[in-house]
Amino acid sequence: MRQIQTIRYARGAGDLNARCTTSIEALNRMIQPRTTRNIKRGHTSKGVRDINRIGWGAWEEKVANTLRVIDTQAYDRANSFYSAMDKTQELFGEVRKREGELQVANEEMEANNEELQASNEEMEASNEELQNLTEELEQTSAYQKSLMDSNPDIIMTTDPSGIVTDVNMATERISGYSREKLIGQPFGQFFSDPGFAQTGIEQVIREGRVSNYELTVVTQKGRQVPVSYNATALRDPDGRITGVLGNARDVTSSKQLEEELRKSTAYTRSLIEANFDSLVTISPEGKITDVNESTVKLTGVSREQLIGTDFCDYFTEPEKAREGYQQVLSKDSIMNYQLTINNKSKQELVPVLYNASVYRDEAGNVQGVFAAARDITILNETMAELGRSNLELEQFAYFASHDLQEPLRMVVSYLQLLERRYKGKIDSDADEFIAYAVDGANRMGQLINDLLKFSRVGTESKPFESTDCTAVIDKVLANLEAAVKESGAVVTHDPLPVIMSDDVQLNELFQNLISNAIKFRGEPPPHVHISAKQAESEWIFSVRDDGIGIDPLYKDKIFVIFQRLQDKDYPGTGIGLAVCKKIVEYHGGRIWVESEHGKGATFYFTIPVKE
Amino acid sequence: MNQKPTSVDDNSIEILLVEDNPGDVRLLREGLKEGKVRNRLNVVGDGVEAMLFLRREGEYIDAPRPDLILLDLNPPKKNGRQVLEEIKADSNLRRIPVVILTTSKAEADIIKTYDLHANCYIVKPVNLERFIEIVQTIENFWMTIVKLPPA
């Protein structure tokens, strides 16, 4: 039984288990009454002497009774033991669980202990350091004082309320006040705006520091010195703020530079902003990097939204816009590049004309594209209006000259009828009067006819077709046969090209130039020569004569309608060369004359080479 | 103008002139006067009258059938193109030769009238000699050279 009691003193779960097993075995052994050992015990308890006294049979019965009693007791004990064992096992489970938890808690505690140990050590170390530092600090404070004094910047300390507690020599020098005068005074009173200075102190107290806080020191002599303040809070070892340490730099010269720079930047910027044209800078990748106000108006998009976005996004033809700035990057600049801005907020399409060039840094590297766009809405409208008004004018000229012909025909016809029927039948005065009237009516007829031709260049043009210039010349010479024969003119030409033109107009052009060449001839029979050569994208034609020539003074005037240089010796309406100019310009070319008075003239005109 | 046709001489030819300008009518008359062929000139001043004459309607109930029509392109009320179109759409009238006599040199007018089956297109010249020459040529060509279908 002793073994069972010792379970209470078991150390650990293993120990307890082992002791349980031993106890159970021992008990089992004890409750087997008929084992040799129990019989011996029966013998011992009852004694051999009883066998002799009561006889074997009675003894054996006595022993058996005793043993039964023992058995019963043993079973009772075993039962209570088993229930105790169950209870023990239950407790044992609980113990094991607790033991696990304890283990974890122990481990944690150990870890915490280690940390605690470490931080203790650290604390000790830093305390030591602090100690050393303090010592060092004390040792070097004199040295620092001299350093402070040698500093060219103002160094001041104040208490938390802003009363000056210390200053360096620079403070004395700049302010003009002695150290003694400065210490104990409110910090703010040495500045032009004491309130703002005090606000600075308060900011340091609140936020721990201020940077580049701009103040103006007023010196003892009243001079103003702009300074830039940097200040930090001074704290005691417990972190309480004990004051403010401020360092102020005299920024007089940098302030001036900055002011100049600011003014010049503002000036440049205002020029950019004042520009009516939209100005944009674009990175080489095509992103907008800067814009002016006109760009904001033109696109209907704010500056913030424009910058950083793709330049091409704001046009009706993004690809054309891209080609545009790529051309700038490859050719350095472009002129009069047409694009249309899509103003989505106004739902408007704005035609613009771009002039753009690259801009570079000091080393000459391309930084991007600077592009200026002009709103040409009004220009376009004006052009369209001009086109309309020109067309109206041409139509007016056409109808006027056309309708004038009708009454003129009546005048001419009836004058001629008069002449036919009554010439020589009235008197010589009547004949003369009729002759002048007929002459005037004829000239008017010619004028109207030429005016009609002039107006037709714009109103009755055909689409350009492939035209053989040699065939045109042949036809012109057939038309001019009478004039050629009468003057004895020799008209020659080089091989002539096939060009794209309105053949009727080309005919008119050559006929006017050749007939002029014959008309303005000198004494000998005229020689007229026509040639053509190709120069890049145009043909240059020339009609050369050896006639009276033109004073270079009038070389432009002759192409203006109704401008006549010659008198009645050379009859004409003054419309021929104006018609020539109109025809050439209608074909996209230029016309000019090279001549000297008395040395013949050469008329040149160009016609673009087209497929 | 607007002369009522009188009795028809079998040997003379009938011409209908559609023209609103009396100056032109007189010039034409002068030109024809010097011509070789005996003719009678009937004149109407506008396109509406022209169609009435040709269809013998209203006051023109006794009008002769013309052998030749001289048509100005711009008479009042109904223009020359409309008159031409109506003539050429009318199976009774379409064989009568129509000569357009106008001051217009416009290509569009020339093309349009030929498209409407005008028989020829003539621009009135400014010069009187030329005018008389042309009038006589028209008369000569249509009345003596050309073989026309029977009326």
pLDDT at A605: 93
pLDDT in tens, chain B (151 residues): 444 444 444 567 888 999 988 888 988 888 888 777 778 889 988 888 889 898 888 888 888 889 899 998 877 777 888 889 999 998 888 889 999 988 877 778 888 899 989 999 998 887 788 888 888 888 888 888 888 777 6
Q: Using the beta-carbon criterion (under 8 Å), do B126 and A409 form an inter-chain contact?
A: yes
- CATH code of the domain occupying A151-257: 3.30.450.20
Averaged pLDDT score across all residues of chain A: 83
User: What number is the average pLDDT over the span A113-139?
Assistant: 79
List chain B residues with CB under 8 Å of A410: 21, 23-24
Q: Using the beta-carbon criterion (under 8 Å), do A402 and B103 form an inter-chain contact?
A: yes
What's chain A's length in residues? 611
- Identity of the highest mean pLDDT range in A74-78, A300-304, B38-42: A300-304
A121 Cα distance to chain centroid = 58
Q: Please give the helix or strand (H or E) that residue B87 lies within, else none.
A: helix B80-89
List chain B residues with CB under 8 Å of A443: none
pLDDT at B69: 92
**A312-347 pLDDT per residue, tens:** 889 999 999 999 888 998 998 899 999 999 988 888
Distance CA(A249)–CA(A254), nearest Å, equals 10
Q: How far is A407 from chain B (nearest CA, A)?
A: 9
Distance CA(A494)–CA(A262), nearest Å, equals 70
A569 pLDDT more than 80: no
- β-partners of residue A119 are none
Name the residue ranges covered by the structural domains of chain A: 2-114, 151-257, 275-375, 381-443, 461-608
Name the residue ranges covered by the structural domains of chain B: 13-145
Q: How far is B57 from chain A (nearest CA, A)?
A: 32
Tokens of A101: 């938890």
Distance CA(A81)–CA(A15), nearest Å, equals 18
Domain B13-145 architecture: 3-Layer(aba) Sandwich (3.40)
Contact, A535 vs A541, CB < 8 A? no
**A354-395 pLDDT per residue, tens:** 999 999 988 888 888 999 998 888 888 998 988 888 888 777
Backbone angles phi, psi at A291, to 5 degrees: -145, 160
Interface A–B counts its CB contacts (< 8 A) at 35
pLDDT at A540: 92
Contact, A530 vs A496, CB < 8 A? yes
Residues of B with CB under 8 A from a CB of A: 21, 23-24, 27, 30, 103-104, 106-107, 124, 126-129, 131
User: What number is the average pLDDT over the span A186-203?
Assistant: 88
A441 pLDDT more than 90: no
Q: Which letter, b or e, does each residue of A8-46 get, where b requires 16 or more Cβ atoms within 10 Å of its Cβ? A: eebeeeeebeebbeebbeebeebbebeeeebeebbeeeb
Contact, A452 vs A398, CB < 8 A? yes
pLDDT at A447: 82
pLDDT at A153: 85
A71 pLDDT more than 60: yes
Question: Lowest-pLDDT range, A96-100, A305-309, B4-8?
Answer: B4-8
Domains A151-257 and A275-375 share a fold: yes
List chain B residues with CB under 8 Å of A413: 23, 27, 126-128, 131
> A245: pLDDT confidence band, cut at 50, 70 and 90?
confident
What's chain B's length in residues? 151
List chain B residues with CB under 8 Å of A414: 23, 27, 128
Sequence-ordered alpha helix ranges (H) in A151-292: 169-175, 179-182, 194-207, 252-274
- What topology is assigned to A275-375 in CATH? Beta-Lactamase (3.30.450)
Q: Using the beta-carbon criterion (under 8 Å), do A402 and B104 form an inter-chain contact?
A: yes
Tokens of B106: 């416009």
Residue A416 burial class via C-beta count within 10 angstroms: exposed 0-12, middle 13-18, buried 19 and up: buried
Domain A461-608 architecture: 2-Layer Sandwich (3.30)
Q: Rounded to 5, what percent of chain B is helix, strand, coil?
A: 40, 15, 45
The residue in chain A having the minimum alpha-carbon distance to the alpha carbon of residue B129 is A416
Residues 6+ apart with CB under 8 A from A430: A422
pLDDT at A3: 39
Question: Lowest-pLDDT range, A27-31, A208-212, A526-530?
Answer: A27-31
Q: How far is B128 from chain A (nearest CA, A)?
A: 5
